[in-house]
Amino acid sequence: MPHCSLHGFSVTFALMFGLMHAAVPDACGEETTRTSLTREQGRTLLSRVGTWGCQYQNIDPESIANSALDLIVIDPILEGATGRTADPSEVARMQRKPDGARRLIFAYLSIGAAEEYRSYWKPSWLVDKPDWLGSQSSDWPGSYSVKYWHSDWERIVVQALRLIVAAGFDGAFLDRVDAYDDWRNARPGAFDEMAEFVIRLADDARAQRPGFMLISQNAEPMLSLDRFNSVIDGVSKESLLTGLQGQGTENRSDQIAWSMNYLTKAQRVGLPILTIEYLTAPSDIADVQQRHQALGFKLFSGERLLDRLP
């Protein structure tokens, strides 16, 4: 299944940010501090999302603040050339809509792949691989599978997640949760180990901020696990109806049915389903929008580069 693993989170921030108590309306429309948003309030806002999207390049906090989006997922790095990351004041600014209402801001975080262009990457790893580093992806040059059950990789991800929490993001958008598929033949327990990895990440983040939320991308079979569903707050699915056989091409009915089997289970336990279709033609978007709406899913249509404001 396709994923957005080319866009992710640099593990080192320039500074360790302190929490900023910016006043924002809560899920009930009352004034509260950003860091006091409970998980219940956050989930209420997430369930009410109408317009949302992802942007991983060319991010302008002021443009996001001035938009009508209910939710946006961004790469925490605002300036790729310098590695400058969003600070708490910028996150707080993006969390307020022009009318004063609350907007949810999530940070992208890949937990199942390592990339050569991330700041944690060491060129020497190409010669002397760390124990947790796997093979390079044939689909995504410069992206490598990881042994996510390895303590050294977990430390990298935990550090990244803690900094996301400290910067004031409402939650993390977890990509490559489906990395268990990279190891399906070599490691029989890979599926369960990914579930436990996500649970540990959730526990660590909520030890710092109990209201911190998680959205899991793709990895539909994970939704069959009650323990996994209990720690996530939403699901994102890419290319549900189109794109698996080529840009704008309708997916096969069996492919759609496979995903729907899991997504409807998640929906029944109260998890909102966010969907992404990589479409640009207005007629295609309008048709797919109606179909997603009929399913009760919140669709975002955009270009695969995700380099502009949704």
pLDDT digits (tens, 9 = 90+) for 160-193: 999 999 999 999 999 999 999 999 999 999 999 9
Tokens of 284: 């295609």
Decide: residue 256, CB within 10 A, 0-12 exposed, 13-18 middle, 19+ buried.
middle
Domain ranges of the chain: 23-301
Tokens of 220: 């539909």
Alpha helices per DSSP H over the chain: 39-47, 61-65, 88-94, 151-166, 190-208, 226-229, 253-268, 282-295
pTM over 0.85: yes
pLDDT digits (tens, 9 = 90+) for 237-264: 999 999 999 999 999 999 999 999 999 9
Report the chain's mean pLDDT, rounded to a whole number: 89
| Cβ-contact 234, 46 below 8 angstroms | yes
| Yes or no: domain 23-301 corresponds to CATH 3.40.50.2000 | no
Q: What are the residues whose beta carbons fall under 8 Å from the beta carbon of 186, sequence distance 6 or more? A: none
Cα–Cα distance between 8 and 107 in angstroms, integer?
A: 9
pLDDT, residue 231, reads 98
Of the listed ranges 26-35, 51-60, 96-105, 142-151, the least confidently predicted one is 26-35
pLDDT, residue 95, reads 97
- Percent of the chain as helix, strand, coil, to the nearest 5: 35, 25, 40
DSSP code per residue over 36-96: G--HHHHHHHHHT--SEEEE-SS--HHHHHTS--SEEEE-SEEETTTTEE--HHHHHHHTB
Q: How does DSSP classify residue 137?
A: P
pLDDT digits (tens, 9 = 90+) for 196-212: 999 999 999 999 999 99
